[in-house]
Structure 1
Amino acid sequence: MATAEIGTPASTGVPAEPPGRPWWRRRRRGLLGGGVAVVLVVGGVVLAMTNPFGDGGEPATRAGDGTSLAAVQEGPLSSQVSQSGTLSYSAGADGTPYRVVDRASGTYTWVPATGTRIDCGETLYKVDQKPVLLICGSTPAYRDLAEGDHGKDVRALNETLVDEGYAGRSGLDPDSGYFSAGTAAALEKLQDERGADVTGRLDLGQAVFLPGPLRIGKVMAGNGTSAGSGRPIMEASSNRREVIVKLDASQQSEVEKGDQAQITLPDNRITSGVVRRIGTVATSSGKNDSDAGSATIPVYITLKHPKDAGTLDEAPVQVQITTAGVKNALIVPVTALIGQAGGGYAVEVAAGDGGRTRIVPVTLGLFDDADGKVQVSGTLSAGDRVVVPST
């Protein structure tokens, strides 16, 4: 669950930044209350604190049987955003599948089944028993290619030919956008291996250019049906495993590209990932535009160890994204916080003999919702004991 935040009036007089702020990797707004009645919401737990101080600044009376002591800890602390997500295969930049558009004419004599993996340079489908090859590139096929041509599509062809072993880098520059004699020679090798007409040129309809390798999704064309130029015949995704999280739009500022993630798979195994991309357009599942609570932003997480996901597709997973961290913090339980009548928070610290207590104002830092802990700064030391409600 995400860190909850409560805005603070400027009149509280609480410092905007606690001591030690430079350790923070990311700025967090403090959870500061004003007035005599304070409600603190953290991790779904509501703590209501109403005038916990007497007129002389002493702590309000606590029921002895209702409290216990917890030690102030010192060490690393991190905060997380926890959400459900879906494990699948990544697709286009907008999250939608790639569309395979046919440019050949004739009859489909072979189309791949859903789930088939097609590598760069392999046969994507066949028309009149002639293979239509997959060339890995982002520029769609739109023309015939032959020796002497220039362009991004030629660069994609050169890169595919080199990457798949049909030419060496010494004989063909994979970064070149020029269709050279070396390109033609390597293309002939590819055509011969795949059973295509060996021409050393690539006519429109003989290849599809898409970022790849591909994993075939929905197939709209069937064997024996007529091929038609410009007709979408199947959808595909990449082979890269990905988790998509629909993040509450109010939490967008908390998550950044590069944040580390922990993913719990359906069988309770845990694997790691990293935030690769964050969407910019919020979508709402509400019935009207005023239903802001349902607005979400897609967050795309790449698995560090894709083999951990096996063959799972469209599988529900639980995701915990680490959004901030502190290397060395003073840490107390969230339930130790008490609200000050003039604004801000404090903790009640037990004396060494376990009898009298003293009130220590604190400035709040990072919250760890998962463990119910919070970073504080004030006249505290590790090992001090603070009063908390008994569990």
Structure 2
Amino acid sequence: MKRSEEHTRGTADGPDDVITGSRLDRRRRSTVVAACCAAVLSASGMFAAQWVQSPAEAAARTRAPSPSVITAPVVRQVLRNTLVFRGTFSDGRTISVTPTSVATSLRGSQPAVLLVTGVFAQAGRRVEAARPLVEYDERPVFALPGTLPMYRDLTVGDQGKDVAQLQKALRSLGRATGGDPSGTFGSGTAAAVRRMYAAMGYAAPVADTATGKEQPGTTAQDGSSAVHRSTGSQPAVVLPFSEAVFVPSLPARVVSVPVHVGDTVKGPVITLARGEMTLTGFLDPSERRLVGAGMKADILSEATGARAMGTVDSVGAVVTPGSGDDRPASDGDADTAAGGSAYVPVRIKSSGRWDEKLAGQDVRITITAAATSGPVTAVPEAAVSAGADARTTVTVVTAAGARRVVAVTTGVSADGMVQVTPAHGHALQAGDRVVVGK
């Protein structure tokens, strides 16, 4: 029996060892899993703690930061007023040419209708003397230098200031008028007119002598009718009222050419400026005392981007639209340009010649005017405070961050700056920093 029991126990040693090892492994795995779960829970708690806060913490996080101040330096400078207002370029006085008849030439019969046969000029361009600008019925319209308007046809035998002006214009073109006295249209002047027309590529107009009668000319501005005369068998040369236009200065600027080839002549075929462009600004009456002759002006056309510099030529009296105030005719629609409000006309002149791109433009005029005779102590307007005691002060912030209140007296203000003078016993100098906001 004993041997049998031992044999049985000995046989059971293998399974016991297996059972014991299996239980140990399970315990170890359970421990590892529990540790991992604890680690995960701990990490999750730490992560969640970052998003969970107490009411006190929330209040602390959302509390406004401590207030700080904005400062600006005290400066020493000349205060200047920058004035910006509108202005309009106009053509000044202009002269238009409206042909009313065709002068007789030796090339053929008279046309039945006035028809535009050529256009050689463009608006905004400058034209020289004795150059065809527009052509109607193959006759040229051209400009000559002179201040007296063309008011009649000129031909041999005519006398007057207009003849003297023609002779001067011919000589400026290098066309000698021979021995003709000044103011008398003689053979020398006639020869010079022929040469001028030949240089333009046209035959000179002449009086019609085929019938032995005087040939009616064009209708003058005063309604009178000029006549062409002939000398002997040679037709008299004529300078027609409808072809020549006198302009004070050349080259002249073309204001408009309202016709095209093929159009019937029913009105002006070309308009020229009798002088340079003029610029008139419309200044607010409250700023009149700030602008004077000689001040520099910056001009800008926002439409074209063109810029120019000018000088104030004159400052006029206040104009109230609709009140019957007189103003120069060249102002044109000044009431409209000024917005229907009272304004002071300011004439701006150019040191040279205005850019042609500015013709007819509404522009912005900027004038910088000195408001003080010399450098003054100044601070931004926002730095000045007025207390209940009527004292005016500024607050200075020192390098260490301390603040001190300085009583001041204010003076001239311009462009956001104001002149300040510290009261007796107070110090304020350029470089100090003053509070302008928080």
In structure 2, give the amino acid aligned to 1:72: V
Task: Give 1:133's aligned residue.
Answer: 142
Q: CA deviation at 1:100?
A: 0.9
Secondary structure of residue in 2 paired with 1:123: coil
Q: CA deviation at 1:334?
A: 2.9
Q: CA deviation at 1:208?
A: 1.4
Q: CA deviation at 1:311?
A: 4.6
Contact 1:102 1:233 in 2 (8 A): yes
Cα distance change of structure 1 residues 64 and 113 upon mapping to structure 2, 3 Å threshold: same
Contact 2:321 2:340 in 1 (8 A): no
Secondary structure of residue in 2 paired with 1:232: coil
Secondary structure of residue in 1 paired with 2:410: strand
Task: Give 1:102's aligned residue.
Answer: 98
Contact 1:71 1:384 in 2 (8 A): yes
Greater relative contact order (CA < 8 Å, ≥ 6 in sequence): 1
Select the residue among 82, 89, 93 that pairs with 2:84.
82
TM-score normalized by the length of structure 2:
0.52
Say whether 1:193 aligns with 2:199.
yes
Select the residue among 241, 263, 276 that pairs with 2:299.
263
Mind listing any 5+ residue stretches in structure 1 that lack a counterpart?
1-62
Contact 2:92 2:276 in 1 (8 A): no
| Cα distance in 2 between the residues matched to 1:158 and 1:276 | 35
Alignment of 1:247-286 (within 5 A): 247-264=283-300, 266=302, 271-276=308-313, 281-283=319-321
Cα distance change of structure 1 residues 70 and 219 upon mapping to structure 2, 3 Å threshold: same
Say whether 1:233 aligns with 2:235.
no
Say whether 1:111 aligns with 2:147.
no
Task: Give 2:408's aligned residue.
Answer: 360
Say whether 1:334 aligns with 2:381.
yes
Q: CA deviation at 1:269?
A: 7.3
| Cα distance in 1 between the residues matched to 2:375 and 2:99 | 62
Task: Give 2:417's aligned residue.
Answer: 373
Select the residue among 244, 258, 263 that pairs with 1:207.
244
| Cα distance in 2 between the residues matched to 1:134 and 1:216 | 11
Contact 1:104 1:127 in 2 (8 A): no
Greater per-residue strand proportion: 1
Q: CA deviation at 1:141?
A: 1.4
The superposition leaves residues 27-52 of structure 1 with CA deviations (integer Å, 9 ceiling, x where unpaired) of xxxxxxxxxxxxxxxxxxxxxxxxxx
In structure 1, give the amino acid aligned to 2:127: I
Cα distance change of structure 1 residues 162 and 246 upon mapping to structure 2, 3 Å threshold: farther
Task: Give 2:430's aligned residue.
Answer: 383
| Cα distance in 2 between the residues matched to 1:301 and 1:190 | 38
Contact 1:255 1:323 in 2 (8 A): yes
Secondary structure of residue in 2 paired with 1:120: coil
| Cα distance in 1 between the residues matched to 2:420 and 2:182 | 58
Q: CA deviation at 1:142?
A: 1.0
TM-score normalized by the length of structure 1:
0.57
Cα distance change of structure 1 residues 209 and 310 upon mapping to structure 2, 3 Å threshold: closer
Larger radius of gyration, structure 1 or 2? Answer: 2
| Cα distance in 1 between the residues matched to 2:254 and 2:339 | 36
Task: Give 1:54's aligned residue.
Answer: none
Select the residue among 216, 229, 240 that pairs with 2:254.
216
Q: CA deviation at 1:330?
A: 0.7
Contact 2:95 2:274 in 1 (8 A): no
